[in-house]
Structure 1
Amino acid sequence: MREKVCLITGATSGIGLESARGLAGQGATVVLAGRDPGRGEAALAEIRRTVPDAKLDLMLADLTSLASVRKLAEDFQRKYSRLDVLLNNAGLIIDRRKVTPDGFEATFATNHLAHFLLTHQLLELLKASGASRVVNVSSEAHRMGSLGFLDDPQAERGGYSGMRVYGNSKLANILFTRGLKRRLEGTKVTTNSLHPGVVRTGFGLNSEGILKYLVKLSSPFMLTVEGGARTSVYLASSPEVEGVSGRYFIKSKVARESRAAQDDAATEKLWQKSAELTGVGS
């Protein structure tokens, strides 16, 4: 990965931090995107503790704000002339409905819309960088999702369920990957999605209800963050997946998505709706 540049969202903790460490250890220049400067600097120091010669950078962005996502893309392109790996890693799960400054349901906005917009804003740079890769962190929780969310992406009807909305957002990650793969045909850019495993991080502990306690109870049976980052690093760097695109991976192996995640009409419907909500071309 020497001479290659990687951008990772949600990189200041959890599997994002471990993915950054893994890619830095292979010689890549790794740009960590996070919203808290203190946690960001701590993440840089933590990686340098184990990878002393790591080439790292920190860029601040709040993925609940589309304006902040656009600024991240602008800041990155102002500083870097290439992008070899975009790892859309950041994720959110909450148990009470919250709305972003743009008026979107927070889980859908953070887990899908922010990454849709960021990828769109950086797509020309990815194409210009040759055999670059877009890696989207999804989850087996996508199997809890339903294509009905396409008619209610803001989760305004039928009562709010944090797990259901999270599952819908992870389903969106895979549909987005499929839609992006089609639009990348004829280029050297590939895109794949993955399930990292059930990982022992701080994920879900910001919830206020039963979800927080379920996470704590199941923690002893979860993967380490190092194990959780393994498939992300594999898809970002391994020559074994060069040219592979539009697939879903578990434990660094191709896996079958849910039937809903293979729906072509839903893929296009989500793309058009996302383009409309983020104000980009279709």
Structure 2
Amino acid sequence: MRTYVITGGTDGMGRGLGLHFLARGDRAIAVGTNPAKGRAFLAEAERLGAAERAGFLRADLSTLAGMQAVVAEVEQTADRLDGLVFATQRFQPKREETPDGFEHTFALAYLSRFVIGHALTGLLDRAEAPVVLNLAGPGGMPGTIHWDDLQLRDGYTGMRAAMQASRCNDLLGVDFPRRHPRSRARYVLYNPLFVKTGMADPLPQPQRMVTKAMSWLLAQRVEQAVPPMAGLMDDPPAERVSAFKRAKPLPLTGKDFDPDAADRLHRLTTGLLDR
């Protein structure tokens, strides 16, 4: 029996992956903020006959306290970690700061993955073939890291924040094996493209209506999106870090995967955490 921790595990693709793992006999711990959605995840696990293998951790991953609580709880309840899935994200039309003073998207979609991924590497290395699956946007819409204004205090838009977080995650993946040179974990950056989830809910009208209409017409269902992601976790690439746009492997070249930029981001991030 394998053990998986999934942030954003009570919604969309994270929930779909968790239920997929439970249905085949594995253990899945879903991390989310909404207790009702957590109860729904556990109820579905019970329906699958997997109640004893399912878990829900309530945590606000936009806060350092929430990130650290997840790390502590997983370390207390798991003796190893076969897979760590990062699926949590939420579109923020207006700029918001977390209690720690970080821009919300930066904290939730990037910083939580940085903190939790590095902290749980020891548990990952106790597994036979550990994998980190980071659902971000490699090879997708272009975005820029605003090096002099990572918190986007000037000129904020929800799209700029989301695209910056995607580029930060590209660099996080590239940098991960350099920070853990002896780790056996494989780090997979994965862009699922357009999937029918609740991502459009926070959008203002008329963008919400347009996005939902496009989703109805063009997007994959979660059930269709899950198998290729699970396949990469079951049989990860030989490379220590890889990137995919659905089934298409992406070359780790260009500015989105630049090792010097990855090192720069790591230094800036650790500086923010140490302040």
TM-score, with structure 1 as normaliser: 0.90
| RMSD (Å) for aligned C-alpha atoms | 2.0
Q: SS state of the match for residue 74, structure 1?
A: helix
Q: Post-superposition shift, 1:242?
A: 5.0
Q: 1:198 to 1:256 in 2, by over 3 A?
A: farther
Asked if 2 retains the 8 angstrom alpha-carbon contact of 1:231 and 1:249, the reply is: no
Question: Which structure 2 residues correspond to residues 56-67 of structure 1 after superposition, within 5 A?
Answer: 56-67=54-65
Question: Which structure 2 residues correspond to residues 105-184 of structure 1 after superposition, within 5 A?
Answer: 105-140=103-138, 143-147=141-145, 149-157=146-154, 159-184=155-180
**Separation of aligned partners in 2, 1:204 and 1:270:** 29
- Could you tell me which amino acid in structure 2 is paired with residue 207 of structure 1? L
Q: 1:254 to 1:102 in 2, by over 3 A?
A: same
Q: 1:164 to 1:210 in 2, by over 3 A?
A: farther
Match of 2:36 among 38, 57, 68: 38
Task: Look up the match of 1:249.
Answer: 244
The reply to whether residue 227 of structure 1 matches residue 224 of structure 2 is yes
Asked if 2 retains the 8 angstrom alpha-carbon contact of 1:175 and 1:262, the reply is: yes
Q: SS state of the match for residue 32, structure 1?
A: strand
Task: Look up the match of 1:92.
Answer: 90
- Could you tell me which amino acid in structure 2 is paired with residue 271 of structure 1? H
Match of 1:198 among 188, 194, 201: 194
**Separation of aligned partners in 2, 1:98 and 1:259:** 31
Q: 1:230 to 1:94 in 2, by over 3 A?
A: farther
Q: 1:270 to 1:209 in 2, by over 3 A?
A: farther
**CA deviation map 1:140-192 (0-9, x unaligned):** 57532113x222110112x1121121011011111100000222333211111
Q: 1:100 to 1:209 in 2, by over 3 A?
A: farther
- Could you tell me which amino acid in structure 2 is paired with residue 38 of structure 1? A
Q: SS state of the match for residue 141, structure 2?
A: helix
**Separation of aligned partners in 1, 2:49 and 2:259:** 46
The reply to whether residue 70 of structure 1 matches residue 68 of structure 2 is yes
**Separation of aligned partners in 1, 2:196 and 2:50:** 27
**Separation of aligned partners in 1, 2:225 and 2:108:** 20
- Could you tell me which amino acid in structure 1 is paired with residue 150 of structure 2? P
Q: SS state of the match for residue 170, structure 1?
A: helix
- Could you tell me which amino acid in structure 1 is paired with residue 199 of structure 2? F
Asked if 2 retains the 8 angstrom alpha-carbon contact of 1:87 and 1:135, the reply is: yes
Asked if 1 retains the 8 angstrom alpha-carbon contact of 2:195 and 2:219, the reply is: yes
Q: Which runs of 5+ in 2 are unaligned?
A: none
Asked if 1 retains the 8 angstrom alpha-carbon contact of 2:42 and 2:54, the reply is: yes
**Separation of aligned partners in 2, 1:98 and 1:210:** 22
- Could you tell me which amino acid in structure 1 is paired with residue 249 of structure 2? V
**Separation of aligned partners in 2, 1:197 and 1:48:** 31
Q: Which runs of 5+ in 1 are unaligned?
A: none
- Could you tell me which amino acid in structure 2 is paired with residue 84 of structure 1? D
Count of aligned residue pairs for this structure pair: 273
Q: 1:209 to 1:202 in 2, by over 3 A?
A: same
**CA deviation map 1:101-125 (0-9, x unaligned):** 1111101110000111111221222
**CA deviation map 1:196-237 (0-9, x unaligned):** 121111113123355423322312211111223333322222
Q: SS state of the match for residue 8, structure 1?
A: strand
Q: SS state of the match for residue 266, structure 2?
A: helix
Q: 1:201 to 1:172 in 2, by over 3 A?
A: same
> Which segments of structure 1 move beyond 3 Å, counting only runs of 4 or more?
140-143
What is the percent sequence identity of the aligned residues? 26
